[in-house]
Amino acid sequence: MGNLKYAVHAYAWTASWSNKTLDLIDRAKGLKFDVIEIPLMEIELVDPKKIKERLEQVGIGVCTSTVCSEAYDITSDDEAAVKGGLGYLKSCVRATAEMGATCFTGVTYSAIGRRIDSMPDERYWGRAAEALKQVAKLAADLGVTVGIEPVNRYETFLVNTCDQALKLREMIDEPNIGIHLDAYHMNIEENDFYEPTRKAAAFLCHYHLSESHRGTPGTGTVNWDDIFRALGEAKYSGLVGLESFSEVSDAMRAATCIWRQLAPSSDVLLTEGLKYLTALEKKYYE
């Protein structure tokens, strides 16, 4: 398309990835996306070999992401959860490499939705950094970048802002740790969109271009001009993605908190959103 590589999250269409959903690779290509983002939450259902075969047949790229569960929480007081989380994240890295992807990201640093009773102290930061350093070393051997995605206060107690993601990255101190911003979460947690994007630009591995209500980009309150101005100034040429939800199944509704119809269909949302975003890219990358 241009300087940016546009990804679409498979959650636009399905709540669960398996070999039964391989046709979504074709669907993403048909909507003119460069990359499909495959969720690894149910890693036991993910077949990297089959995915790679289908990707090569269709001619589209791939990246992966996850959110860690309580059983895989590397910041936990429970040693079994820390050990489980480390093993799980390493499995995700291996699956990512096996399907031919070079970017694995998401809420890699703690359990999604976990609440604690006080401000997070250095114990939590230290546990996350120690585990992710081990994950990053394995990932480096396999040619994979591991991303840190700040998400809003209702979904994590640890990394809500770009500055916090940069802090954790510095603590991990491995060159293949990247930052993954998401405009939906930034709309809640950041003071603006330009400064966090500018700060993260040198370390960006992915950017979810999600609207403030997770509907079609351009129809909410996200300041898209500020985001693209910062990306253009930095000459960022990596992954950006649409993580939007329209056809939400009952299995996903509680997780996504989508209680109303945000677009006529996922395909309409994605098509209109991609058109809007590529026009902004053209404006700020000329």
135-186 tens-digit pLDDT: 999 999 999 999 999 999 999 999 999 999 999 999 999 999 999 999 999 9
Mean pLDDT of the chain: 94
The strand ranges marked E within 11-102 are 35-39, 61-68
Q: According to the model, what pLDDT value does residue 1 have?
A: 45
- How many other β-carbons are positioned within 10 Å of the β-carbon of residue 175? 10
CATH number, position 104:
3.20.20.150
Domain enclosing residue 268, as ranges:
5-285
Q: Sort strands 5-9 and 239-242 into parallel, antiparallel or unpaired.
A: parallel
Give the pair of three-digit tokens for residue 193. 């969109």
pLDDT band at 260 (very low <50, low <70, confident <90, very high): low
Catalytic residue among 155, 190, 211, 243: 243
Chain centroid, CA 95 distance in Å: 16
In total, how many domains does the chain have? 1
Q: According to the model, what pLDDT value does residue 227 have?
A: 98
Lowest mean pLDDT among 180-194, 214-228, 251-265: 251-265
> Does residue 155 carry a catalytic annotation?
no
Amino acid at 208: H
Answer for the pair 147, 137: CB distance below 8 angstroms, yes or no.
no
> pLDDT, tens digit, for every residue of 115-134?
999 999 999 999 999 999 99
Lowest mean pLDDT among 53-62, 91-100, 220-229, 245-254: 245-254
Using alpha carbons, select from 52, 58, 42 the residue that is nearest to residue 91.
42
> Does residue 190 carry a catalytic annotation?
no
Catalytic residue among 149, 190, 211, 281: 149
What is the radius of gyration, based on Cα positions, of the chain? 18
Cβ contacts of 277 within 8 Å, gap of 6 or more: 6, 209, 217, 224, 240, 242
For the segment 212-216, the average pLDDT, to the nearest whole number, is 92
Q: According to the model, what pLDDT value does residue 123 have?
A: 96
pLDDT band at 249 (very low <50, low <70, confident <90, very high): low
Q: What is the enclosing helix (H) or strand (E) of 249?
A: none
